[in-house]
Amino acid sequence: MTRSFFLDNQTARRLFLDRHLLLQQRSGTGKGADLDQVLDDLGFVQIDSVNTLARAHDLILWSRRGQYRPRALERLVANDRSAFEHWTHDAAAIPMQFYPQWRLKFARDEARMQRRWQDGRRPGWTSEIDTVLRHISDHGPTCSKDVGDGEKKGSSGWWDWHPSKTALEFLWRSGRLAICHRVGFRKFYDLSERVIPAETLNARHSEAEIVDWAMSAALDRLGFGTSGELAAFFDIVTRAEAKHWCAAALASGQIVEADIEQADGTCRRSYTTQALLAQAAELPSPSTRVRLLSPFDPALRDRARAERLFGFHYRIEIFVPEAKRRYGYYVFPVLQGDRLIGRIDCKRSGEVLQVRAFWPEAGIAMGKQRRSGLIAELDRVQKLAGTEVVRFAEDWLRC
C-alpha cells in the first residue's frame, strides 16, 4: 500500500507560487542567460497580443524580473536562438532545449489539424502548402502578407484566414517552419533548418522518453498535480498516457500521492515527489510585495485550479455585455504574499497609466500599508508600460 501525504492549503499555495517564481522577490538582469533561466524555470511563457497595459508575455516576465524589457525576449528568439515559439495550450515562447521533445507535438498537431481544419477553415489551403514552402525556400523570412496574392482576406473573425495564411500556420504548427522573428507583433516564418540550431534540430527522442520528460518537467514546475493537470501543462501528453505514467511512477516510487488542502478546506488527491515535499516544508515566508500579474500568468492559467487553491474566481469577461460585467473585461489579478487580494482595471493611455478601479477580495482590508504597496507596484510597472504618471479615477477603490 502506498502512503499518502498531506499539504495544508497555505503550504500548498507557497509551494505552488515558489515553483512559479512568485513567492519571493528575485533579482536578475531580466535578459540573456538570466532570462533563459526564468523561461526554463517556468517551462514556457504564453504569448498574447492584448496590450492594454503591456503584452501578456512581457508582464509575466516583468513580474519575475523587474529589470525585464520586451526587447530581451525578442533577442532570445530572433538573435540568440535560445528560445522558440510554438504552442502549449496556446502560443508560447519555449526554451530551445525543449525543441526535440516538441517533435511529438508537431506530429500530433499535424494529425489533429488534418482532421479538424478540413471543415473548420476556408477550402483551398492544402493546395497552397507547397506554394508557401517554395516561396519561403526561395525568398526567406515571410509573413502572412507576403503570400496569398489575390486571395480574399478574412473579414469574419480571428480564424477567418485566407488559404495561404492557413497553410503558413499549418506548416509552423507541424514543425516544418519556425518563427524567426517578429516585426511589431507580426510573425515572420522561415524553414526550420534555417532557424533552429543544427544540434537541436537533429536531436531525437523516443515517444516514451518524451512522455516521461513532459510529465516529470510539468510536475517539477507545478509542485503537485493530478494526471490531467500534468498532461495539460505542455499539452504534449494525452490523458491516457498521463494516467499510465502516473501509475507506473507511483509504483516505482518516483512520485507519491498527496492530499492537497483546497481553499474551502476540502482535499484534492494529487501527485508530487518526496523532494518537493521536503522543499515545501522549508520554504520561507512570502514576500509582502504587492504584485500585478498578467491575466495569462502561468500560475493562473488553469482558472479552476486557481479558484480551488486560492479561492479566487477569475474570468476574462471579453464576451460579457458591458452592462452585465461585474468588473472590466480585462482586469489584472493582484497578488500579495501567498494570497490573491483583488483585481485592478488599469490601462495605458499615452503617457498616463489610468487606474479605473480596484476590487479587493472578500476579507481583504485596504489599509494604508496595503494601499501604499499597490500604488508602489503601479509606479514600478510604469517602466514597462512606458508611462510617466499614474492617474486614479475618483472612485477607484471599490471596497
What pLDDT digit, counting tens, does each position of 357-391 carry?
Answer: 999 999 999 999 999 999 999 999 999 999 999 99
What pLDDT digit, counting tens, does each position of 36-64 carry?
Answer: 999 999 999 999 988 999 999 999 999 99
Q: Which helix (H) or strand (E) holds 334?
A: strand 332-336
Q: Look at residue 151 and tell me whether its pLDDT is greater than 90.
A: no
> Which residue carries 508575455 as its cell?
57
pLDDT of 121 reads 66
pLDDT of 318 reads 67
* Confidence tier at 157 by pLDDT (50, 70, 90): very low
For residues 153 and 345, the model is more confident at 345
What pLDDT digit, counting tens, does each position of 276-323 carry?
Answer: 999 999 999 999 999 999 999 999 999 999 999 999 999 877 667 776
- Smallest CA-to-CA distance from 185 within 300, 57, 301 is with 57
* Confidence tier at 153 by pLDDT (50, 70, 90): low
Q: At what angle do helices 207-222 and 99-120 cross, to 10 degrees?
A: 100
pLDDT of 316 reads 76
Q: Look at residue 155 and tell me whether its pLDDT is greater than 70.
A: no
pLDDT of 325 reads 75
Q: How far is CA 74 from CA 97, 171, 178, 215, 318, in A?
A: 17, 22, 14, 28, 28
Pairing, β 91-95 against β 332-336: unpaired
What pLDDT digit, counting tens, does each position of 20-33 carry?
Answer: 999 998 899 999 99
Q: What is the identity of the amino acid at 21?
A: L
Q: Look at residue 149 and tell me whether its pLDDT is greater than 90.
A: no
pLDDT of 2 reads 61
Q: Look at residue 119 and tell me whether its pLDDT is greater than 60.
A: yes
